[in-house]
Amino acid sequence: MAILKILKNDDPTLRKTSRKVDAITPRITTLLDDMTETMRAANGCGLAAVQIGVLRRIVVIECEEGNVLELINPEIIASEGVQNEMEGCLSLPKRWGITERPERVTVRAMNRKGEIIEITGEGLLARALCHETDHLDGKLFSDNAIHMLTPEEIEEMEQDA
């Protein structure tokens, strides 16, 4: 496994649309392993392949320690409710904002065995599913944030933590 470099801020690759994965190859499973290792090394709870410069529709999410979701070609097929919570991104260091997301979403995706799976998440997991899926279409949470925290607000938040 390998820890890969995470693209940041205005890197133009982050704005590109990722392509679907047609078949699970050893290259894809190695990529999944590297993505999880990279996400963990950066203390993140989600990572999309585009963030390490690979334009493939693949994300990993670990909202709950030890429970890694590997989603290939994820698609949101249902959503309900609304939540306005704090969000950050490994590609936007030191930036935080409040975003509006559905409270509950269901995603259909392929797993590393090539099986179609459906995942329903609420709260933090619902946010992560939306956030990571957005990356695959070149979107960042800051694009539609209700409010981006000011440096003073971030300082205050860090003191409270």
What is the contact surface with Ni ion in residues (CB under 5 A)?
Answer: 89
Please identify which of the residues 62, 70, 87, 132 carries the catalytic annotation: 132
* Token pair listed for 43: 């203390």
Which C-beta is closer to Ni ion: that of 72 or that of 132? 132
CB 89 → Ni ion: shortest distance, Å? 3
Which C-beta is closer to Ni ion: that of 59 or that of 109? 59
CB 38 → Ni ion: shortest distance, Å? 12
Question: What percentage of the chain's residues is helix, strand, coil (to nearest 5)?
Answer: 30, 30, 35
CB 152 → Ni ion: shortest distance, Å? 24
Taking the CA atoms of residue 14, residue 15, residue 20 and residue 21 in that order, the dihedral angle to the nearest 10 degrees is -10
Does the annotation count 132 as an active-site position?
A: yes
* Residues 6+ away with beta carbon under 8 Å from 142: 89, 92, 95, 97, 148
> Which residues are known to be catalytic?
132
